[in-house]
Amino acid sequence: MRQFLLSSAAIGMALLAGCNNATTTASKTESDPAAFLARAEKELSDYSDYAARTAWVNANFITDDTDWLNSRAGSEGTQLTVRLANETKAFEGAKLTPDQERKMLFLRAGIVMPAPSTGTPEEQKQIADELADVTTRMASTYGKGKYTVDGKELNLEELSNIIGDVRDPKKLQQAWEGWRTVSIGPQDPAEGKPSPTMAEDYARMVDIGNAGAKELGFKDIADMWLSNYDMPSADMEATVEKLWTQVDPLYKELHCYVRGRLNTKYGDAVQAKTGPIRADLLGNMWAQDWTNIYPLAAPPASDPGYDLTKVLVARKFDAVKMVKTGEGFYTSLGLQPLPATFWERSLITRPRDREVQCHASAWDIDNLDDLRIKMCTQINQEDFQTVHHELGHNFYQRAYNKQDFLFRNGANDGFHEAIGDFIALSVTPEYLKQLDLISKVPPASADTGLLMNRALEKVSFLPFGLMVDKWRWQVFRGETTPADYNKAWWDLALKYQGIAPPSQRPADAFDPGAKYHIPANTPYLRYFLSFILQFQFQKAACEQAGWTGPLHRCSIYGNKDVGAKFNAMMEMGASKPWPDALEAFTGTREIDGTALVEYFAPLQTWLKEQNKGQSCGW
């Protein structure tokens, strides 16, 4: 089943905070900003190659030794990035070019979790080591997590398959609650005392990170994260609320309809006709993607006439062929094929002989052309789309590899996620017919079903994509204390998603830690933004292609003119403010949710009709 995807595109900065190895540096800061920035970029570039390889090995061979290596690299990386960030203070008030100002900001705000640099060198190293140990321990706990069902140890994919495929509410609850025991954290005795729980580790990380953020001139980590969007953090937060207001009515119609279908399936005792939806019934471990319950929600008379998963199996697709097909979409737009090393070095299937972190991700090991993906590919529709998404990261990474080091990143982190998902929107019946996977395009009568299936993936995700970082912002600002971590999580899930746990949660539960991006400390607002941006990209690309039909039927497969303009935007990387990049491809400078609403407008009209007489909302 699909999880939302961690890109290693920003290995130069974002990954440095937790997965890198520092180099020795000059002890004196230059007075010339150009000289300082040249040195900083050289240090970061030299070191990120080692950093990425350390992280790659740890993710692909999870052992105590690779955990130790990754933790040590993370500590050294934190010291390097914090030192460089502090050295930018020497240029406050100096006359800088726009590029220099932008790079200085990236050095200050681009650290995901900074450690303070006060005290003696030994004390600085000690606190950086502690931060690295905490973050590595949380990520490793998640990666190695298992829960026993009927005498068999199951990993996350296996537990997720239960959530996705089983319709027995007791078994669903068992798998759902079982995975959340992992996030309580390791508690085996060690040296006469229990290990810290994940919640305790998380609280300690926040204390350290906030101290580091304040030292760099930010109010807290939330302020620092939000400062990465080319506008004041308060303005960015207001932009996010505006976007949610635009898409919230569509989500509420979908929620109302799905709740009714679940009530029909399970009855009032399991899922009431009113109020929130029980989280484990939605086909996804985090209720962020509801496509697995499409059979329960499918509109009548909307069968497209094919099941892509069955088609892929019948055509004897394997993991490599899945990825080759995804690559073929990008080359059809005129982009060059992936390098041979991609096929030699990527991890595309789950190994049988070792623990790996199977969370799908795209990697740029050397910030040039050592591109890889890491995913435990399954032959199904979901992973077919995931492949198209992941490769978007890789093609974006290569497109901007001639930029200065600090500009080798997406225009903002939402762009990086949106690129691949925008391409995946072209995985339409028209595209499948072009690939000869289906013999004919379904009639217009099937559109409601196709839109429903996509809405269960895209629209269902929007409130989850928003609430993950809203929870963290509250934690970082001290509005939520460790004692209330879990309560605050479910308060937000109720407010935005309209979901509730299947039973009362234990006092020591840390359900946020059951989502990869919390223990891995990956900012999540990027995914919410990407789900808005991808539809803006889709609308602009289809207009460029001269498409005049419904937006949801448009595929740009094979359109090299669109591909050239698309690649020109990608080549900009982070060298300009993101509104410049957005304007270069779409003609507008504002991120806006109306393209998404337009895409699903036919479905929203249908949902309103189905929901007449229902008590929607919760």
Tens of pLDDT along 303-327? 888 899 999 999 999 999 999 999 9
Q: Residue 78: inside a domain, yes or no? A: yes
pLDDT score of 87: 92
Domain count, the chain: 2
For the chain, percent helix, then strand, then coil, each to nearest 5?
Answer: 60, 5, 35
Question: Is residue 517 among the annotated active site residues?
Answer: yes
Angle, CA of 518, 524 and 527, to the nearest 5°: 140
Q: Residue 237: inside a domain, yes or no? A: no
Q: Which of 526, 547, 568 is the last residue of a domain?
A: 568
Non-local CB neighbours of 427 within 8 Å, separated by 6+ positions: 384, 385, 388, 555
Q: What is the number of other CB atoms lying within 10 angstroms of the CB of residue 200?
A: 15
Q: Residue 591: inside a domain, yes or no? A: no
Tell me, yes or no, whether 311 and 428 share the same domain.
yes
Distance CA 475, CA 523 (A): 13
Report the run of H or E that residue 386 belongs to, with start and end: helix 381-399
Q: How many helices (H) and strands (E) does the chain have?
A: 25, 9
pLDDT score of 579: 96
Closest CA to 68 of 143, 142, 133: 133
Q: Which of 568, 588, 611 is the last residue of a domain?
A: 568
Residue 358 phi/psi, 5-degree rounding, is -85, -5
Q: Residue 376: inside a domain, yes or no? A: yes
Distance CA 210, CA 131 (A): 12
Tell me, yes or no, whether 84 and 193 share the same domain.
yes
Q: Catalytic residue among 255, 389, 416, 517, which?
A: 517
pLDDT score of 185: 59
Q: Which of 171, 196, 217 is the last residue of a domain?
A: 217
Q: Catalytic residue among 237, 390, 417, 457, which?
A: 390
Residue 283 phi/psi, 5-degree rounding, is 85, 5
Closest CA to 405 of 13, 75, 87, 125: 13
Q: Residue 295: inside a domain, yes or no? A: no
Q: Which residues of the chain have pLDDT under 50?
A: 1-28, 189
Please name the residue ranges forming H helices in 150-285: 156-165, 169-182, 198-215, 221-226, 233-266
Helix axes 525-544, 233-266, angle to 10 degrees: 90
Say which residue the tokens 């997590």 belong to: 145
Helix axes 156-165, 169-182, angle to 10 degrees: 160
State pTM to two decimals.
0.88
pLDDT score of 86: 87
pLDDT score of 109: 83
Cβ pair 450, 459 in contact under 8 A: no
Tokens read off for 320:
């490599």
Cβ pair 474, 488 in contact under 8 A: yes
Cβ pair 155, 516 in contact under 8 A: no
Question: Is residue 390 among the annotated active site residues?
Answer: yes
Q: Is 212 exposed, middle or buried (0-12, 13-18, 19+ CB in 10 A)?
A: buried
Non-local CB neighbours of 616 within 8 Å, separated by 6+ positions: 252, 253, 255, 256
Grouping H, G, I as helix, E, B as strand and the rest as coil, residue 189 is: strand
pLDDT score of 20: 31
Q: Residue 365: inside a domain, yes or no? A: yes
Tell me, yes or no, whether 188 and 327 share the same domain.
no
Cβ pair 227, 109 in contact under 8 A: yes
Tell me, yes or no, whether 195 and 313 share the same domain.
no
- Determine the structural domain holding residue 108 and report its residue range: 6-144+183-217
Q: Residue 316: inside a domain, yes or no? A: yes
Distance CA 498, CA 492 (A): 9
pLDDT score of 168: 97
Tell me, yes or no, whether 187 and 336 share the same domain.
no
Distance CA 316, CA 563 (A): 30
Q: Residue 92: inside a domain, yes or no? A: yes
pLDDT in tens, 353-371: 888 777 788 999 998 899 9
Cβ pair 127, 115 in contact under 8 A: yes
pLDDT score of 51: 86
